[in-house]
Structure 1
Amino acid sequence: MIVQTERTILREASHDDASFILRLVNEPGWLRFIGDRGIHDVEAARDFIDLRWREIHPKLGFGLCIAEETSTHTPIGLIGFVQRDSLDAPDIGYAVSAPYQGKGYAYEVCRALIDHGWNNLGYEQIYGYCQPDNTASIRLLEKLGLRYLRDQDVNNNGDVCKLYGATRPIS
């Protein structure tokens, strides 16, 4: 377990999560705002878990994690920190499955994860970004206390995103 909130735990992904990953990365919202990752079967989802999480966590000490509802042990999304080559600090990434959107899960887990970043990982800066037309993500980033910085091609792929950031609060 990485972080726990009132309704969720954030944990590392395992191959047991492959079916959930397969469904999530092929939901319309993921495809529209994050993009097609070419994951169209369970084996590809397992490979994605290995390459994107299981190899990254030990190297960086963080990465995307499974957000799981504690009462049902049901995976509801992917949330965590990602280090982009174009940014000098981690960004918070999140994707919540459609049936769980609009219920406050993304805010709850992201808020706890940001606090974990400040208090346990020693971050001085945290970024977040989204597509310019992703109004739900813009509202979430602002509610989390991140402020708009600039438009930037964060992934160096020609897609300009809205970049937000926050610095460690002074205690």
Structure 2
Amino acid sequence: MILQTPRLRLREAEASDAPFVLELLNSPGFIRGIGDRGVRTEAEAAAYVENRIRQSYAEHGYGMWVVEPLEEPVAIGLAGLVRRDVLNHVDLGYAFLDRVWGQGYAEEAGRAVRDYAGRVLGLETLAAIVNPDNLASRRVLEKIGFRFIDERWLPGWPQPSAYYETSHHVGADHHANR
């Protein structure tokens, strides 16, 4: 386990998560909000887990983690950190199955990942990119302390992305408690 919140557990993705990843990547909300990854079979989903998600753990020590409710350990989403060559800062990301939207999971997981990035990894600034039309996701980012910077055209994306950042001063919590 990487993180735990009052309602959620975030853990590394495993090959056995392929059925969940296949469902998530092909959910209408994922395709509309993030994009079609072209993953159509469990074998392709297993390769996605290994070559995209787990590869990030090996290269960077972080990545997208599987999100499960504590009361029922079944995967409902992904949340974590992504290193993109086209951004100056590590990117906070999340995606949840459509059926669990509106329950506050993205905010709870996003806040925990943001805090982990500062407290454990020492990252002072995080980025986030989102489809400009995805108002719910934009609200989540704003609730957890991200501020809108501008819209940017990123290579390989068919439209501009809304670009957000948040900064924390490493050790700020420690100093505040003195």
Question: Normalising by structure 1, what TM-score?
Answer: 0.96
For each residue in 1:52-86, what CA deviation from the matched residue of structure 2 results, as whole angstroms up to 9, or x when unmatched? 11111021011111001111101010111001111
For residues 101 and 155 of structure 2, the distance between their equivalents in structure 1, rounded to whole angstroms, comes to 25
User: Where does structure 1 lack aligned partners over 5 or more consecutive residues?
Assistant: none
For residues 127 and 89 of structure 1, the distance between their equivalents in structure 2, rounded to whole angstroms, comes to 6
Q: Shift of residue 20 of structure 1?
A: 0.6
Which of structure 1's runs of 4+ aligned residues deviate more than 4 A?
none
| Residue 68, structure 1, aligned to residue 68, structure 2 | yes
Residue 80 of structure 1: SS of its match in structure 2? strand
Identical counterparts, % of pairs: 37
For residues 146 and 112 of structure 1, the distance between their equivalents in structure 2, rounded to whole angstroms, comes to 13
For residues 70 and 150 of structure 1, the distance between their equivalents in structure 2, rounded to whole angstroms, comes to 36
| Residue 16, structure 1, aligned to residue 16, structure 2 | yes
Residue 75 of structure 2: SS of its match in structure 1? strand
Q: Shift of residue 18 of structure 1?
A: 0.6
Give the length in aligned residue pairs: 171
Residue 74 of structure 1: SS of its match in structure 2? coil
Match of 1:59 in 2: 59
Match of 2:129 in 1: 129
User: Where does structure 2 lack aligned partners over 5 or more consecutive residues?
Assistant: 173-178
Match of 1:148 in 2: 148
Q: In the alignment, residue 65 of structure 1 is paired with which amino acid?
A: W
Residue 37 of structure 2: SS of its match in structure 1? coil
Conserved 8 A contact 1:84-1:154 = no
For residues 149 and 72 of structure 1, the distance between their equivalents in structure 2, rounded to whole angstroms, comes to 37
For residues 106 and 169 of structure 1, the distance between their equivalents in structure 2, rounded to whole angstroms, comes to 23
Counterpart mapping for 1:69-108 below 5 A: 69-108=69-108
| Residue 162, structure 1, aligned to residue 174, structure 2 | no
Q: Shift of residue 169 of structure 1?
A: 3.7
Q: Which moved more, 1:53-62 or 1:37-46?
A: 53-62
